[in-house]
C-alpha cells in the first residue's frame, strides 16, 4: 500500500501540517488554515480502515481549533 492509498499516512501528514501552521503562522488566518488541514484529515478518517482512536484525535484537534477561534485567540 502506497502513502497515497493509505489514509492513515495522509491523516498523519495533515495533522502535522495543521500543527505546524498553528506553531509558525500568526493571526486568525493560521487558525483557519489549521482547521482546513484538520477537516481534510477528518474526511479521510471516515475510511473504515482507520483506527477509531485516530478519528477521535482528529475530532479533538478540530474542537480545539474551533474553541480558539470562538475565544478570539
The tens digit of pLDDT for each residue in 5-51 reads: 789 999 999 999 999 999 986 678 899 999 999 999 999 999 999 99
pTM above 0.95, yes or no: no
Asked whether residue 54 carries a pLDDT value surpassing 70, the answer given is yes
Distance CA 56, CA 71 (A): 22
Nearest to 50 by CA among 16, 12, 23: 12
Asked whether residue 73 carries a pLDDT value surpassing 70, the answer given is no
Amino acid at each position: 500500500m502506497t502513502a497515497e492509498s493509505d489514509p492513515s499516512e495522509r491523516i498523519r501528514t495533515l495533522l502535522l501540517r495543521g500543527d505546524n501552521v498553528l506553531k509558525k503562522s500568526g493571526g486568525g488566518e493560521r487558525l483557519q488554515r489549521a482547521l482546513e488541514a484538520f477537516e481534510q484529515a477528518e474526511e479521510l478518517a471516515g475510511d473504515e480502515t482507520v483506527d477509531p482512536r485516530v478519528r477521535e484525535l482528529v475530532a479533538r484537534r478540530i474542537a480545539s481549533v474551533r474553541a480558539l477561534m470562538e475565544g478570539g485567540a
